[in-house]
Structure 1
Amino acid sequence: MGCISCSSGGCGTSGAVAGCGSNGSCGTGGCNKMNVFDWLSDMDIPVAQRFDVLEVKFKGGRKEYFRNVNQLDLTTGDFVVCEMQSGYHIGMVSLQGELVRLQMKRKKVLVNDDLKVIYRVANEKDLEKHTQTIARDLPVMYRSREIIRELKLNMKLSDVEFQSDNTKATFYYSSEERVDFRELIKLLASEFRVRVEMRQISLRQEASRLGGLGSCGRELCCSTWLTDFKSISTSAARYQNLSLNPSKLSGQCGRLKCCLNYELETYMDALSDIPSVNAPLKTKKGNAFLQKTDIFKRIMYFGFEKDNNWYPVAVDKVREILDMNKKGIVPESLEIMLMPEMALAQERKEAGSLNTDLESLDRKYSESPQKKKKKKNRNNRNKNRNQSPKAEKS
């Protein structure tokens, strides 16, 4: 059975998966948003000892836990009819077994009688009604946005989710200030004839529900696997020597990218042995100011006030100069404390080869069409001259 609850629209309303052909069980993340690999699925556990709580996934990657009180024989990917506060809703079984117990422990969800139950496996009639309910989401969202503009409310409506029994609709919105939507609820309830629930979400959660592609070319982390949104500060970019450009550091949600925290610990460990230079290094040639730090090569670049050149100095040598300055000793210049000559020669060689490649590319693409045509004609003439003696000999 295909993933008919897919919000991306790639699977269509018929339930047939477009592209992968695996009928809702592909591992690419396109059909199974926030999917989890059950690495305990091959273990045979007696029915009486199985954990009777299942994880069910709904639209937008939202997951909830339900009790399997009727001991239904379910597999991952089955659509089930679940109990709600009012009525029922249809979702897909995303995880079962002992992994559900671990997930509930991690999310601090208690196993008690307050958990809702699973009624039955969804039949064709249930799925047909569920498909018709999904078809209402977009038209209702567009109409609701028009009502919000008419009421001049400072809020952004990002998604609408109808319950499978058509008795309740959840409106997801984001706003930076408190919104009085009492009049809005009355208008929505009278126009669509459903119970209305307004749920405010953060901008990161909004990007997670909508999905998209990041600047790296991959799907957004928040819409594929990331569930915990940690606080991110600009100090994470400073530790990694990134330019503090808001347009490059911000994601589609308008906040700092979550991936700034991925390698932060590695940079923190690398920076632990690098001395912090809070003041310029004192030499007899002048004060040397820190311009750049190559964290993993352990090289620090310094420059003088009236000198455009940058001088690479090893971290150990910088530490020696700092100790000398504390003792009141001023070295002649940074040249005596530079890196070994072999390392310097290699670095100059790499910089020179890079500049040579760039210059050759500039010459290649800066030639005018007339020069290229003359060069081509000259090559053809030389080729004909080389071939003419051979023709006379034959």
Structure 2
Amino acid sequence: MVEIRFKNTRKDFYENVNGLPLRVGDIVAVESNPGHDIGIVSLVGELVKNQMEKQGVKINSEFKKVYRKAKQVDIQKWKEAIGLELPTMLRTREMIRQLGLTMKLGDVEFQGDRTKAIFYYIADERVDFRQLIRIMADEFRIRVEMKQIGARQEAGRLGGIGPCGRELCCTTWLANFKTTTTNAARTQELSPNPQKLAGQCGKLKCCINYELEVYENEKKKFPPAYHDLETKEGMARHIKNDILKHLMYYEIKGEHTAILKAVPVHRVKEIMQLNRKGIIPDTLLDEKDMLETKKEVDYASNLNDQSLTRFELKPNKRPRKKSRKNYEKNPNNQKTENNQPDDSKPQKWNKKNNNNYKRRNDNPNNKNKQNQSND
């Protein structure tokens, strides 16, 4: 058994009756009704059986056959059929507008031998397209098959990149589309912003259901959030939860600045039990929890082991050069009372202080040059 992939997300299982040495990526000619179709091998070996069990396909069922590896003539005819899909879709859309049908044509897929085409459409209600089929069969000279799909299937067929940066799940591996509800988003404490929850198809994202079971199991460990906690600091009102970290956020009523305090679940249960007994604790957090929350956060970066706060450090000040004012006050660099060398310390050699050093203006060559220029 092998799995064959056709245009976009259409896949099916075929029986390799001739025992061909097939590998993933091989182009093969397979049985179709009528004629034959051209597809690409997507799975072989034990992975095919696992995929069949996942989709609930029985191995004892009757499957279509793999004829042969595609020849050059088959591939050339297949490419010509692919080239006819776009103009056929545009022409069919014009027919739909002329007939006034309330349907949207999403895609057209030609069979490899150009004897049949599948027209994928979206419609909110039942559509009578018998007249449309007769017109298309007469104009295109092919066998027409109309297949209704939903908005999710259309997005999968067209393909795209999701907000996570990866290719759409419905295009790559997702076969069964489960209903996604807003309750799943509420269970995971997600933002109720419809723009963030909607996918490329305009419906709720399918990935909201991926971790729903984990959140439901973890949320059972949380106490009811509608109870206020009474402490000597004041009444604490629940704001939100962090399910994966097992934290519940509270704020003290009456405070001018709303400061959220992260309280562990076990501490919330403990305070609720104390309140039932009439005992009022001093604070929301005990000493152990307060120490854990006061841990300093290290903002070190793994990039060349440099700290993220390195730009906040003050730069090292470089030694300032002697100003021009000091030179004007003492042009000949004469020693003054404040500028006397200290005999107790070793003196550094300075050519300006050396007797053999002469200023540039004292150079006789420079004087000769100046006289020549004046002449």
Name the TM-score, length of structure 1 as normaliser: 0.70
Q: Which amino acid aligns with 1:331?
A: I
**1:224 CA drift (Å):** 1.6
Contact 1:76 1:96 in 2 (8 A): yes
Cα distance in 1 for residues equivalent to 2:218 and 2:30: 50
Bigger shift: residues 75-84 or 131-140: 75-84
Partner residue in 2 for 1:316: 266
Is the Cα–Cα contact under 8 Å of residues 282 and 330 in structure 1 kept in the other structure? no
The reply on whether 1:193 has 2:141 as its aligned counterpart is yes
Match of 1:244 among 192, 199, 203: 192
Given that residues 311 and 338 in structure 1 are in contact (C-alpha distance below 8 angstroms), is that contact kept between their aligned partners in structure 2? no
Distance 2:60 2:276 in 1: 65
Bigger Rg over Cα? 2
Match of 1:28 in 2: none
1:148 and 1:351, CA in 2 relative to 1: closer, same or farther beyond 3 A?
A: farther
- Report the Cα offset of residue 200 of structure 1: 0.8
Residues 332/82 of structure 1: CA separation in 2 closer, same or farther (3 Å cut): closer
| Matched-pair contact (CA < 8 Å) for 2:231–2:284 | no
2:230 is the counterpart of 1:230: no
State the match for 1:293 in structure 2. Answer: 241
Moved more, 114-123 or 132-141: 114-123
Work out the CA distance in 2 between the residues paired with 1:224 and 1:268. 27
C-alpha distance in 2, partners of 1:92/1:310?
Answer: 56
**Alpha carbons of 1:161 and 1:336: their partners in 2 closer, same or farther (altered >3 Å)?**
closer
* Structure 2 residue 47 is matched with structure 1 residue 99: yes
- In structure 2, relative to structure 1, the CA distance for the partners of 1:273 and 1:387 (3 Å cut) is farther
User: Could you tell me which residue of structure 1 aligns to residue 276 of structure 2?
Assistant: 326
User: What is the rounded CA distance, in whole Å, between the counterparts of 2:298 and 2:273 in structure 1?
Assistant: 31
For residues 298 and 97 of structure 1, the distance between their equivalents in structure 2, rounded to whole angstroms, comes to 44
Change (3 A) 1:168 1:336: closer
Identity of aligned residues (%): 46
Provide the alpha-carbon RMSD of the alignment.
3.5
**Counterpart-to-counterpart distance in 2, 1:311 and 1:155:** 54
Q: Which is worse superposed, 94-103 or 53-62?
A: 94-103
Tell me, yes or no, if the aligned pair for 1:161 and 1:170 is still in contact at 8 Å: yes
Unaligned ranges ≥5, structure 2: 300-306, 328-332, 334-349, 352-375
SS, match of residue 153 in structure 1: coil
Alignment of 1:1-394 (within 5 A): 53-111=1-59, 114-283=62-231, 286-307=234-255, 308-327=258-277, 329=278, 331=280, 334-335=283-284, 340-346=289-295, 385-386=320-321
Deviations along 1:162-215, whole A, 9 cap, x unmatched? 112222110111222222222222222222121111101122211111110111
- Give 1:335 shift: 4.8
Paired with 1:351 and 1:289, the residues of 2 have a C-alpha distance of 31
State the Cα distance separating 1:115 from its structure 2 match: 2.1
- Over 3 Å counting, the alpha-carbon distance change for 1:208 and 1:330 in structure 2 is same
C-alpha deviation, 1:130, in angstroms: 0.8
1: CA distance, partners of 2:80 / 2:323: 80
1:213-272 deviation per Cα after TM superposition (whole angstroms, max 9, x unaligned)? 111111111212222322222222222221111110111011211222233333334333
Provide the rounded CA distance (Å) in 2 between the counterparts of 1:217 and 1:57.
Answer: 24
Q: Are the equivalent residues in 1 in contact too, given 2:121–2:149 (CA < 8 A)?
A: yes
Inter-CA distance 341–89: structure 2 relative to 1 (3 Å threshold): closer
Q: Higher helix fraction: Structure 1 or Structure 2?
A: 1
User: Alpha carbons of 1:141 and 1:200: their partners in 2 closer, same or farther (altered >3 Å)?
Assistant: same
Gaps of 5+ in 1: 1-52, 364-378
Q: 1:195 to 1:278 in 2, by over 3 A?
A: same
Change (3 A) 1:68 1:340: closer
Distance, in Å, in 2 between the alignment partners of 1:233 and 1:69 is: 44
- Partners of 1:64 and 1:189 lie apart in 2 by 26
Residues 267 and 285 of structure 2 are in contact (CA less than 8 Å); yes or no, is this contact kept in structure 1?
no
Question: Would the alpha carbon gap of residues 118 and 306 (structure 1) be closer, same or farther in structure 2, given more than 3 Å must change?
Answer: same
Give me the TM-score of the superposition, normalised by structure 2: 0.73
Contact 2:232/2:283 (<8 A) preserved = no
User: Conserved in 2, the CA contact under 8 Å of 1:145 and 1:157?
Assistant: yes
| Contact 2:263 2:285 survives alignment (8 Å) | no
Output the CA distance in 1 between the equivalents of 2:292 and 2:20. 69
Counterpart of 2:83 in structure 1: which amino acid? A
Give the whole-Å Cα distance in 2 for the aligned partners of 1:100 and 1:336. 55
- Counterpart of 1:223, as a letter, is T
Q: What is the deviation of 1:284?
A: 6.2
